[in-house]
Amino acid sequence: MAQPEPQTSGSLALIDRLQWLGDVGAGAFGSVHLARTAAGTPVAVKRVLMASGQEMREVQMLQKASQHPNVIKFIDWCSWNTHDDRACVYIVMEYLPENLHARINGRPLSPWHVHRFSTQLLTAAVHLDILQICHRDLKPENILLSHDDVLKICDFGSAKILGQGPSSNYICSRWWRAPELILGASEYTTSIDWWSCGCIIAEMMAGHPIFTGDSSWGQMYAIVRVLGTPTEREMQSLMPESGGIRLAQHFANLVKLRRGGRSWAELLPAFAHLPGSLAIPRKLLAYSPKDRCHPATLLSARCLSPSKSRTESKAARCDRSDTVRKRFKRNPTALIAVDEPKPKRQCFLVPPQQSSIQVVE
């Protein structure tokens, strides 16, 4: 890529000295390029054309969220004009060589890797929830992996701080899109990201996406084929206020299906023998946003936290979940990724002596 000419605002001190090495990828958003700093450090540079007026929001989201071990590290940004006089925002971030989609590659991951990546993904989800940042496009391609298997969420181009008026429902890639978005909700919570996390964790266990509709309504029916027909209460929780006649007819068609859900053991056979493993995607993939399990609660559960007493009460588990959230709010790195050797014997329910994410209590 030809090096552009600096024209406008931003921190040019670092960017102006980058050595451009090549292209990483491109899409509707713009393009990503590999560069090297003066110190020899490889970095990823995302170039976004300034057209919608929302380009700076990604910079703001990264500045707010990236001080966490499981979110891509933001380094610098600036606004430049290219040689053909197009205004672009250039965002410099750390470079990671692999994404989760490439790691899955059509095969279930090992229980050790599913445990490690699930814990780090949910830890990042807790962090974003505390900041009230909704990523709105979580999928394996937007999850990067380091050489030592540290997971980092990237691509905050669709992210938004919630509570600032109605939000677009035509966001999030289809196979990881929550039901309320498919049905047209313009007011939603970070639980749409939790749904995406459930899809991703199930995909790691299956080796492929589990909901693969070929259109928006095809996606809804794909979900029903797996989870079964939603109950009347669940439908009411999903129905947007401005539903209209067409949406009501679709709901009526869903009711007529009267379909039972598939067995999770049948859906994810590679993990059916591991106690507690199937509960993770199941608790995240609930029709009603209010029924989705908070990631902090899952992190404090036996299947994702260091071994706890089998006699621990439900109240104690709730207290531990609250502790996770409170400590996380005071210190976003309270749950930190550590480099650990792979255990000789893999087990999902009881993690190694040093868990990939330590819950500090």
Residues in binding site for ATP? 46
Distance CA 320, CA 327 (A): 10
| Catalytic annotation present for 137 | yes
Detail the residues annotated as belonging to a binding site: 46
**Residue 86: which of 3, 4, 20, 2 has the closest Cα?**
4
- Write down the residue that tokens 């937007």 correspond to: 142
Looking at 137, 149, 155, 193, which residue is catalytic? 137
Nearest-CA neighbor of 105 among 240, 203, 224?
203
179, 220 Cβ separation under 8 angstroms = yes
For the annotated catalytic residues, the residue numbers are: 137
